[in-house]
């Protein structure tokens, strides 16, 4: 497998997958390269359900194996919000800035030791034939900052301080994020699962 389809239209995710797959010598195509494919409605109540919906649709429509990523930020003090609704937390137009403002406002009164949170990523691989889909998951623990810092990454990265660091994810070098992130952890597990299939990932 020298090329893989990632069923995402999120340019932040796409960039990270391109960088992470580079080390395997694998080229990444995303739905940004297939503008004719219809949007999939994310009607699931869990990351896994949504990842499967996106992967199955892409595999069926392209006739090739496809990986989808459903991910988000889970904040303990907000009872797990924004969770599966992370992309559209402040409204349907997926506005990262507005999402961050909303989280900061909701977290304004929350004290230091109650600011724990984690990024979650579920990856689903689906196949155009009758092979069963594969699902793996990765988490990245951390806490919510009091203000935005940094310009790398995307989404809530300027607000999220990963465990073991005193900078936000958006202040870390992209290579560092791609070592420690929820997405990187899930992808490493996927490699293990895929090597169990014929041909593996290479
Ligand atoms: O700061 C962040 N760093 C990350 O590493 C990260 N990963 C996910 N997220 C948030 O969760 C939503 C995913 O929602 P999501 O999985 O439905 O994706 P999406 O709708 O943006 O694109 P698609 O892949 O569905 O096409 C994103 O938009 C972000 O708000 C992240 N934020
Ligand atoms: Mg989505």
Supply the pLDDT for residue 26.
87
Evaluate if residue 25 carries a pLDDT over 90. no
Which H/E stretch holds residue 102?
helix 96-106
Supply the pLDDT for residue 29.
94
**pLDDT tens per residue across span 172-196:** 999 999 999 999 999 999 987 777 6
Q: How many other CB atoms sit within 10 Å of the CB of residue 57?
A: 20
Residues with catalytic roles: 70
Q: Is residue 200 part of a domain?
A: no
The total domain count for the chain is 1
Distance 113 CA to ligand 2 centre (A): 31
Looking at residues 63-70, what average pLDDT do you find? 95
Q: Which residues are annotated as a binding site for Mg(2+)?
A: 41, 70
Supply the pLDDT for residue 24.
80
Looking at residues 133-152, what average pLDDT do you find? 98
- Dihedrals phi, psi of 118, to nearest 5 degrees: -150, 145
- CATH number of the CATH domain containing 120: 3.90.950.10
Q: Is residue 201 part of a domain?
A: no
Evaluate if residue 79 carries a pLDDT over 90. yes
Query: Domain range holding 112?
Result: 3-195
Evaluate if residue 146 carries a pLDDT over 80. yes
The whole-angstrom distance between residue 5's C-alpha and the CA centroid of its chain comes to 15
For the Cβ of 70 lying below 6 angstroms from any atom of ligand 1, the answer is yes
For the Cβ of 49 lying below 6 angstroms from any atom of ligand 1, the answer is no
Instruction: Decide if 40 contacts 54 (C-beta within 8 A).
Output: yes
Looking at residues 115-124, what average pLDDT do you find? 98
Evaluate if residue 15 carries a pLDDT over 90. yes
Evaluate if residue 1 carries a pLDDT over 80. no
Q: Is residue 202 part of a domain?
A: no
């Amino acid at each position: 497998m020298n090329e893989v389809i990632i069923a995402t239209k999120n340019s932040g995710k796409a960039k990270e997958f391109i960088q992470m797959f580079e080390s395997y010598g694998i080229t990444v195509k995303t739905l940004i390269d297939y503008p004719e494919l219809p949007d999939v409605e994310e009607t699931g109540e869990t990351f896994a359900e949504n990842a499967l919906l996106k992967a199955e649709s892409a595999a069926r429509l392209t006739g090739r194996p496809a990986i989808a990523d459903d991910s988000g930020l889970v904040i303990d003090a907000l009872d797990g919000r924004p969770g599966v609704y992370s992309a559209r937390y402040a409204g349907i137009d997926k506005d990262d800035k507005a999402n961050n403002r909303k989280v900061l406002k909701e977290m304004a009164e929350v004290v230091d030791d109650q600011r724990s949170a984690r990024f979650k990523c579920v990856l689903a691989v689906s196949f155009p034939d009758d092979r069963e889909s594969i699902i793996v998951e990765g988490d990245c623990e951390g806490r919510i900052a009091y203000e935005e810092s940094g310009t790398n990454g995307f989404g809530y990265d300027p607000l999220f301080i990963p465990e073991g660091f005193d900078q936000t994810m958006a202040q870390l070098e992209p290579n560092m994020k791609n070592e420690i992130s929820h997405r990187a952890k899930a992808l490493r597990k996927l490699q293990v699962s895929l090597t169990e299939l014929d041909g593996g990932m290479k």
